[in-house]
Structures are given as C-alpha cells and as structure tokens.
Amino acid sequence: MASTAEPVTVVKRSSVSPPPSSSTAEMSLPLTFIDMFWLYFLPIERLVFYEIPNLSRAHFVEHIVPKLELSLSIALEKFLPLAGNLIIPSGSGSNSDSTPRLPEIRYLQGDSVALTISECNEVDYFSYLTATADEARKCLPYRSLVPALFNPTRYDADSDSGSDKIIPVLGIQVTLFPNSGISIGISNHHAVGDASTIFQFMKTWANLSFQVLQEDRDSVSAKTLGSENLPFYDRTVVKDPKGIASIFLQKWNAIIEFMKKGDGFPVFEFMNKINVNVRKTFVITRKDIDKLKSLAAKNGEKVLHLSSFTVTAAYVWTCLVKSRAPSGEEIGAKDSELFAFPAECRGRMNPPLPENYFGNFITPSMIETEHGKLAGGGGFQTAVKLIGKAIHERLENSETLFLGAERWMDELHEEKWARNVGVAGSPKFSYYNLDFGWGKAVKFEFVSIDLTGAISLHGCRDPDGVLEVGLSIPKPKMDAFTTIFRDGLNSL
C-alpha cells in the first residue's frame, strides 16, 4: 500500500443543526449515575464502510453530501441531545458544604453537530481497509477517518478556571474514496448514551438518508418515523437513592487531581500504544460456538448462562492471556487477570424500560482471577464459569442489576487495571445492516479499541459467521494470539 504524508484531505467542515422549525428550543438531561460512570472515559469511535463503484468526487460533493446533511438534520430533530453539549459545571463534585451542580446534557437552539467531509488521497486505501483477508492492518489509517472529539485529559488544565466545561457529545466524518466508496466515522462521548442509543440514532439517520437518496428527494419529514423509533427521555425511571451520581463525580475529580500531579493513570495508559498496535478481525461461526458450548459443558458440568457471548468472550480472553508469554510479556502465575464487560439491561427492570430509552442503561461486570488459572489446561472452562456466573448474578433480577454500583470506580486507579481486557460493542447491533441508500455496509470497525485496549464484539458480515471479534494489540502479541486462536478452534 502506497503512502503519502496526508492520506486524507478535508473538503468541507460544516455544522449541522436540527431544522429551525423544530418545536423544542431547549432541552436538558441530567446525567444519571450510570451516565456519570463514563464521564471522563475516552470517546467511542465507530467506522462504517460502503462500497460505491465509480463514485466521482463531483457526484459525492454535489449530490450525496447535501442529502446526508439534510437527513442528519432531520434525525437530530428527534435526537436533540446529540446536537447539544455535555456541561460540567465549575466546581461540580467539590467537597464544599454547598450542594454541587451535577453535569448534564444540554441542547440550546442553534447547537449543532460538527460534520467533516473529507477525501482519501490513497488510491488503494478502500480495498486495504475493508479487506476480508485475515491479515493484520496498521491502526493509523483508520484514525484519519474518524473525527477527533475530545481527550478526557485535555480539560484538566482548565479545571481551575472557574468556567463550566462545555464538551461536544457527537462528531461525524464522511470520507470519499474516489471510484470505490464512502466511510462514515462517528465519535461520541460515552456519557451521552450506550451502544443501544447510538445505534438507534444511526438507524434513524440511515432510514432518512435512504429516503432522500433513493427517491432523490429534497425534503423529508421526521413524521415518517414510527413512534417506536423515537427516543424515550424520561430520566425519572433511573432511581439513585444512594446519591451514586455525586459519589462518582467526586471520585472522578480525585482521579483528575491525581493526573494533574503528573502521575500516570492506568485506565488511560494505553493511549500511547497506537503506533505499535495492529488491528485484526476474527470471525466466529455458528459451528465454532456450538463446539465451544460443548467443550464448556464437558463431563456434564452445569454452566450458568451458557450463551454465545459467554463462550466467545471466554475463548478470546483465554487466548489473549495465553499469548502474553509467547509475545515476550513477563507475568507470573499468581498475577491478576481482569475481564470487564457491560450488559444492556433495559428489559431487565421491573417494569421493563422501553428499548428506546435514551442514555446509558448498562451494568458492568468485572472479574478477577489468577493468570495461571487461565493460561494452563482448563483455562477456557474456568473463564466460562467466571463469566457465566457474573452474568447470572448481575442479571438475576432488577434488584441485582446495580448492586454495589457505588464501588464500580474503586479499581480504576489500581495498577492491575493495565492487564484488564474489556469488551466494546454488542452482538445485538449490526452496523452491517444500516443502509443509507448504497446497500449494506461492507466493513465495520470499532476504531476506539486502538486507544482503550478492549476487544470489540459485533454482528458479522459473513453469512456463515455469527460474531466478529476485533483486536488492536502489538504485532508480536497479535501473531501469538492468531496462532493460539486458530489452533484452538481447529482442534475442537
């Protein structure tokens, strides 16, 4: 693949607002304690590729871009908070006697989403970035295709200025690959919403775009959307009798003060690894999942919550653990291994929350065990038991969903977090099925795993596949993982 100094050129920067005719001039959503957990996490970055042969620059700029801007504006009319900002009040979460003002998502008329229109200068980038071949790819080319939304540490220097922090919650970049296709990059602040919320928005935008592009219309109304596709904004459904939102805010402030002293912070330390990481996608087929389930239940042993997610997550986790030593990492058998994953739980409440609830409604589970228990024989079965038990205990009923939530942040500052494996995404939401008017997507990438070190799990493009697993790790570890992953599945 040839390389130039600037693989992508910005064609246009614009600000897309909801239509002026929107009936709502102002909207404010207080952060729930679930939102507050993600207050200073890195942005979530996703990238979707669409193949459009013989696409010219003129057609892209004159026809496609205006239609995308129009449909985005209409979509934002129903998702006003995404056009707004995260407001972190000055002094919020301080230890003063006065009641602190808590952060909120605020939309004011005139607020907008930054939209970047760009063009790729590399003639072979599209085929390289969307290749189905099982090969490792550099991370940096993907980063040029998603908008830079924010860095959580960037706001620390101004924390004593006395001014409120105003942080955009959504950024979008659309990139032309001449004669090949288009990519749509989305960056969002995690505090504004989870995977369900962002996918709901993207699905709405795609449906509206399909209408204006396929039917070559100059206007479209949000009234064409069914009520089931419109977000549910009532925050009173999230109860916080223990004041966990304030607890989280105070803990975040303590973390920020810790970082301002020049000390490192484990949960952000992988930000500097992007230059040594490579990306790779692995497909898990239905046959693989069936074999893994059989292996997990070998000898008739009962396993709690034996699902596709459980066995896939357990298998990937143990393969990553086993790849440490072959790739040169020094780790002892008694050293800690951590695994963290979210569970979407709108339907687990009593009564259930609407599926279109806007915001975060996920509950995290964190597992810790010894390296030797996963790296040795029977490591996969151990991981399955741990993950299955954690899911069962967390999702058993509405009372256990957020049990102990006030302690969620306690381990973020510990050194062992550096060996944590997290999960990004959800198999429930397939970006491959989003059709903006050019057919289904040909490739989906969870770009932010370059920075977070998480594995991504999402629906598969391959009709024979069930899940795609995305990794972004140093090449020696990727090589070791690939061998262990393949050999393990082939031996089943």
Angstrom distance (rounded) from CA 460 to CA 438: 19
Domain assignment present for residue 442? The answer is no
- What is the pLDDT, as a whole number, of residue 233? 96
Total domains in the chain come to 2
Residue 97's contacts (CB-CB under 8 Å, 6 or more residues apart) are: none
User: Does 435 participate in catalysis according to the annotation?
Assistant: yes
Mean pLDDT by 10 residues, the chain (492 residues): 73 95 85 96 95 97 96 95 94 58 94 98 91 82 91 53 86 98 98 97 95 76 67 94 94 80 56 76 95 90 90 98 94 93 93 95 94 95 96 89 90 67 91 95 95 90 86 95 97 93
Q: Note whether 421 and 305 are same-domain residues.
A: yes
- Are 192 and 38 spatial neighbours (Cβ–Cβ below 8 Å)? no
Q: Note whether 292 and 421 are same-domain residues.
A: yes
Q: Note whether 340 and 362 are same-domain residues.
A: yes
Report residue 94 as tokens: 């301080």
- Determine which helix (DSSP H) or strand (DSSP E) holds 235, and give its type and residue range: none
How would you write 290-355 as a 3-class SS string? HHHHHHHCHHHCCCCCCCHHHHHHHHHHHHHHHCCCCCCCCCCCCCEEEEEEEEECHHHCCCCCCC
Identify which of 19, 78, 20 has the alpha carbon closest to the alpha carbon of residue 227.
78
> What are the strands of the beta sheet with 465-474, ordered from one edge?
137-138, 277-285, 465-474, 455-459, 420-424, 336-344, 362-370
- What is the pLDDT, as a whole number, of residue 157? 47
Q: Note whether 67 and 181 are same-domain residues.
A: yes
Domain assignment present for residue 92? The answer is yes
Residue pointed to by tokens 């010219």? 56
Q: Note whether 248 and 105 are same-domain residues.
A: yes
Q: Note whether 159 and 278 are same-domain residues.
A: no
Query: Which one of the listed residues 156, 164, 240, 435 is annotated catalytic?
Result: 435
Query: φ, ψ for residue 163 (rounded to 5)?
Result: -105, 150
Angstrom distance (rounded) from CA 209 to CA 435: 8
Q: Note whether 26 and 163 are same-domain residues.
A: yes
Query: Which one of the listed residues 190, 194, 371, 458 is annotated catalytic?
Result: 190
Q: Note whether 465 and 370 are same-domain residues.
A: yes
Angstrom distance (rounded) from CA 388 to CA 366: 12
Domain assignment present for residue 196? The answer is yes
Q: In whole angstroms, what separates CA 8 from the centre of its chain?
A: 23
Choose one of 229, 254, 279: the last residue of a domain. 254
Q: Note whether 231 and 153 are same-domain residues.
A: yes
Report residue 124 as tokens: 């072979």
| Pairs from 404-409 (Cβ < 8 Å, separation ≥ 24) | 405/33, 405/242, 405/244, 405/363, 406/242, 406/244, 406/247, 408/37, 408/248, 408/364, 409/37, 409/248, 409/251, 409/252
User: Does 190 participate in catalysis according to the annotation?
Assistant: yes
Choose one of 225, 254, 283: the last residue of a domain. 254
Distance (Å) of CA 121 to CA 4, 146, 175, 364:
8, 16, 10, 41
Residue 80's contacts (CB-CB under 8 Å, 6 or more residues apart) are: 18, 22, 24, 27, 107
Give the structural domain span for 115: 8-254
Q: Where are the alpha helices (DSSP H) in 97-241?
A: 125-129, 140-143, 195-214
**CATH number, domain with residue 45:** 3.30.559.10
Q: Note whether 359 and 470 are same-domain residues.
A: yes
Domain assignment present for residue 471? The answer is yes
- What is the pLDDT, as a whole number, of residue 253? 86
How would you write 273-299 as a 3-class SS string? HCCCEEEEEEEEEHHHHHHHHHHHCHH
- Are 135 and 280 spatial neighbours (Cβ–Cβ below 8 Å)? yes
Positive or negative: CA dihedral 317, 200, 211, 71: negative
- What is the pLDDT, as a whole number, of residue 298? 84
Residue 302: CB atoms within 10 A of its CB come to 8
Domain assignment present for residue 275? The answer is yes
- Determine which helix (DSSP H) or strand (DSSP E) holds 241, and give its type and residue range: none
- What is the pLDDT, as a whole number, of residue 259? 72
Domain assignment present for residue 448? The answer is no
Global pTM value:
0.93
Residue 442: CB atoms within 10 A of its CB come to 17
Domain assignment present for residue 437? The answer is no
Query: φ, ψ for residue 390 (rounded to 5)?
Result: -65, -45
Domain assignment present for residue 95? The answer is yes
Q: Note whether 231 and 308 are same-domain residues.
A: no
Question: Is beta strand 420-424 parallel, antiparallel or unpaired with respect to 455-459?
Answer: parallel
Q: Note whether 180 and 225 are same-domain residues.
A: yes
Count helices and strands (H / E) in the chain. Answer: 14, 17
Query: φ, ψ for residue 383 (rounded to 5)?
Result: -65, -40
Choose one of 254, 280, 302: the last residue of a domain. 254
